[in-house]
């Protein structure tokens, strides 16, 4: 079955530590996204990538970094510069809008919950 | 960033009743999408309605879009306990590259 896999499901970070959240998709989607969700809130965009080796900052990119070396993979690193990293992180993918210039439905993984020790 | 706003923030109903959630947005859009999120899980795409459409149906879901009022509504008919979830609207207000999500409506359907 095609889908998006996020790992781990739960992650704990110590002070001053960088942690990396994994996101893999086998949907052959060009575009991938990382969101942060805080309790009772909507999703806020951290980074997105429309093609391999290219990515763009979202609304809250400070303290985060990403890479897109393969179409299937879009890992997110939460650096020590992110002072309030406790949140639920969601990865998504979609078909690239292309010439349609129209947003496509996004497919989501089941998230990684990050907490501070 | 601009966000869609869902209304109400929370809704509690009995099984068999209809549930209506509303979404407002601020600028012109090409399409609006509705998503569902079960507790602790990722979002699931429900329906997409384009700016030139006024109404769309999918099973027990009915979505309307009023671009003059910059608003949309999601109606779930004959609700079931399994419909208990948070529902989010999302728009392409900032262009076709990304979606802008609202804060969601939490729906509780009691047996």
List chain B pLDDT tens, one digit each, 111 residues: 335 678 899 999 999 999 999 999 998 888 999 999 999 999 999 999 999 999 999 999 999 999 999 999 999 999 999 999 999 999 987 776 789 999 999 999 999
The partner residues of B31 in beta bridges, in order of sequence, read B50
Q: What does the pLDDT average to over A94-104? A: 72
| Nearest-angstrom CA–CA distance, A37 and A92 | 13
Q: Mind telling me how many Å the CA of B81 is from chain A's nearest CA? A: 21
Residue A112: per-residue pLDDT: 98
Q: Do A102 and B96 touch (CB under 8 A)?
A: yes
Residue-wise pLDDT for A7-55, tens only, equals 999 999 888 899 999 999 999 999 999 999 998 788 999 999 999 999 9
| Nearest-angstrom CA–CA distance, B87 and B89 | 7
Is residue B75 within 8 A of residue B62, CB to CB? The reply is yes
A 10 A CB-CB count for B78 gives: 11
Residue A101: per-residue pLDDT: 59
Residue B4: per-residue pLDDT: 63
Residue A96: per-residue pLDDT: 79
Q: Mind telling me how many Å the CA of A76 is from chain B's nearest CA? A: 17
| Nearest-angstrom CA–CA distance, A28 and A31 | 9
Residue-wise pLDDT for A44-84, tens only, equals 999 999 999 999 999 999 999 999 999 999 999 999 988 89
User: What would the two tokens of residue B103 be?
Assistant: 């804060």
Q: Is the pLDDT at A98 greater than 50, yes or no?
A: yes
| Nearest-angstrom CA–CA distance, A5 and A92 | 10
Residue A3: per-residue pLDDT: 94
Q: Is B108 helix (H, G, I), strand (E, B) or coil?
A: strand
Residue B2: per-residue pLDDT: 36
- Please provide the DSSP assignment of A53-86 as one string: TEEEE-TT-TTEEE--SBTTB--EEE-TT-S---
Residue B49: per-residue pLDDT: 95
Q: Do B97 and A43 touch (CB under 8 A)?
A: no
Contacts of A84 (CB under 8 A, 6+ apart): none
Is residue A47 within 8 A of residue A5, CB to CB? The reply is no
| Nearest-angstrom CA–CA distance, B87 and B109 | 13
Q: Do A108 and B99 touch (CB under 8 A)?
A: no
Residue A102: per-residue pLDDT: 67
Q: Do B40 and A45 touch (CB under 8 A)?
A: no
């Amino acid at each position: 079955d095609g889908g998006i896999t996020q790992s781990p499901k739960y992650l704990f970070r110590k002070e001053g530590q960088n942690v990396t959240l994994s996101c893999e998709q086998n949907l052959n989607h060009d575009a991938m996204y990382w969101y942060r969700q805080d309790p009772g809130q909507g999703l806020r965009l951290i980074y997105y990538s429309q093609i391999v080796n290219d990515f763009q900052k979202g609304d809250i990119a400070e303290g985060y970094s990403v890479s897109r070396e393969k179409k299937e993979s879009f890992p997110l690193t939460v650096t020590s510069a992110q002072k309030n990293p406790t949140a639920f992180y969601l990865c998504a993918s979609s078909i690239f809008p292309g010439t349609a210039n129209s947003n496509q439905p996004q497919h989501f993984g089941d998230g990684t919950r990050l907490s501070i020790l | 960033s601009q966000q869609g706003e869902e209304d109400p923030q929370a809704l509690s109903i009995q099984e068999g009743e209809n549930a209506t959630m509303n979404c407002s947005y601020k600028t012109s859009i090409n399409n609006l999408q509705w998503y569902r999120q079960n507790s602790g899980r990722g979002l699931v795409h429900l329906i997409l309605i384009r700016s030139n459409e006024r109404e769309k149906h999918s099973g027990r879901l009915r979505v309307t879009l009023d671009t003059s009022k910059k608003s949309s509504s999601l109606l779930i008919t004959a609700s079931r306990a399994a419909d208990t979830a948070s529902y989010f609207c999302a728009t392409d207000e900032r262009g076709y590259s990304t979606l802008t999500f609202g804060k969601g409506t939490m729906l509780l359907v009691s047996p």
